Amino acid sequence: MRKLCIMSCGLLIGTALYISPSVGQVAPSTWQAEVRRHAEKQDWNSAMRIVEAEVARSPQDMDVRSWRARVLTWSGKLDQAKQEYLRIIDIVPNDPDNWMGLAAVYSRQNRPDDALHSLDRAITLDPKRADLHLARARVLREINRSHEAKAEFAEALLLDPRNEEARSGLASFRSQPRHQLLLAANTDLFSFIGANQEQSAALISRWTDHWETSFTGNFYRWAGFDAQKLSANVTAKSKNLGSLTLGGAVAHDNGVIPRDEASIAYGRGWRLSRTGLLRGVEANYEQHWYWYSTTRIITLNQTTIAYFPHDWTWSLRLIGARSRFPGSGTEWRPAGMSKIGFPLKNFESRQLGGNIFFATGTENYSQVNQIGRFSSHTYGGGMRFQLAAAQDVNGFAGYQQRNDRRSEMSFGFTYGIRF
């Protein structure tokens, strides 16, 4: 029986479509082509009606049943798809295609161990098929078993020297940039005082999969005064436990920035779905201490980021700040910011994205003009342009309306390069 492999539009890991003529039917490939056409449009109801009709006509034809399992998988009915594949495998246990289809279901259910077990069974049945090794390589790469994934991509390329996916898969394991240099410049224009200028340079280094450091130098020109700050952070990362960051800063403050700073932060992310509306969630908590020459500030920051299809994101940041000034009591003040990120345009390997944000309250407690008794509303947006694989430029602009009819306009950019 002749089978033709096609990819399933990125919805499945390693799953292929197979066109299998059914005995005794007129124009057997017609209904399969119709199923494919509806699947490309994600018209799952129409695709399933065609398959169900064929199943009713040939209930013992396992190739037809496997089409039903594929459509169930593509449409996100993963439990039904799993049960269908298990029933097929119980009758036809030695068909590697069905084991690969079952592996795709397990992979979408975030069950990589079960997916690998199914792919191991498929490869045992037919070890010379490059697509089976590719499917196993994808799952291994997804769970960061890089050495084994690299070996599977190499095996697939050996079996099929013209396979571009295997070639690019091997290339993805070449030495990745571990360092990033960020150069930034920001300007604040006020309606009630002269402009503020800030420049910074940061070096972020990822030494291993578990350890990262960053060092940043900031240079300020505020209201005719110059100030400098040096900050450092170290981050420990664990796939299962999240990340923990400890940081600190010292400054030549000149009375306009904190003399010393310290911070501790914890963050963790969860992947929720490959095909649903909400793909993942990330939560970050930070506690930051600022010591000014005349006051002390402590802020509690909670940021939640939601990830949606097509690189859309939404983040919400809530801040509680406690300040104590000489001769006055301790006071807590709230602030918050919401930001939506979205893609704009893809230019082959380059990408253009944007964001819009809204903030309320006193949001930036590392600046002396952002603490004390005032309220504000800030509106703004930004853009990010990926110049090349290792270079990008970010820009932003914002307008802040304060009480007492005061206002502030801010804009700036950041250039990043990885090496």
Span 248-272, mean pLDDT? 94
pLDDT > 70 fraction of the chain, expressed in percent and rounded: 88
Question: Would you state the pLDDT for residue 381?
Answer: 97
Average pLDDT of the residues of the chain:
88
Rg of the chain (C-alpha set): 28
Asked if the 179-418 domain carries CATH number 3.30.300.30, the reply is: no
Q: CA triplet 132, 173, 142: central angle to 5 degrees?
A: 55
Question: Confidence class of residue 11 from pLDDT cuts 50, 70 and 90?
Answer: very low
Whether pLDDT at 4 is above 50 = no
Residues 327-348 pLDDT 10s: 667 888 889 999 999 999 987 7
Residue 387 buriedness (CB in 10 A; 0-12 / 13-18 / 19+):
middle
Architecture of domain 6-126: Alpha Horseshoe (1.25)
Question: Would you state the pLDDT for residue 300?
Answer: 96
All structural domains of the chain with their residue ranges: 6-126, 179-418
Residues 60-87 pLDDT 10s: 999 999 999 999 999 999 999 999 999 9
Nearest to 137 by CA among 126, 151, 125: 151
Question: Would you state the pLDDT for residue 176?
Answer: 75
Dihedral, CA atoms, 266, 198, 372, 215, nearest 10 degrees? 30
Residues 202-239 pLDDT 10s: 999 999 889 999 999 999 998 789 999 999 999 999 98
Of the listed ranges 80-89, 225-234, 240-249, 402-411, the least confidently predicted one is: 402-411
Span 368-375, mean pLDDT? 61
Whether pLDDT at 251 is above 90 = yes
Question: Would you state the pLDDT for residue 404?
Answer: 82
| Strand pairing class (179-190; 296-307) | unpaired
Whether pLDDT at 311 is above 80 = yes
Give dist(CA 72, CA 144) in Å, integer: 28
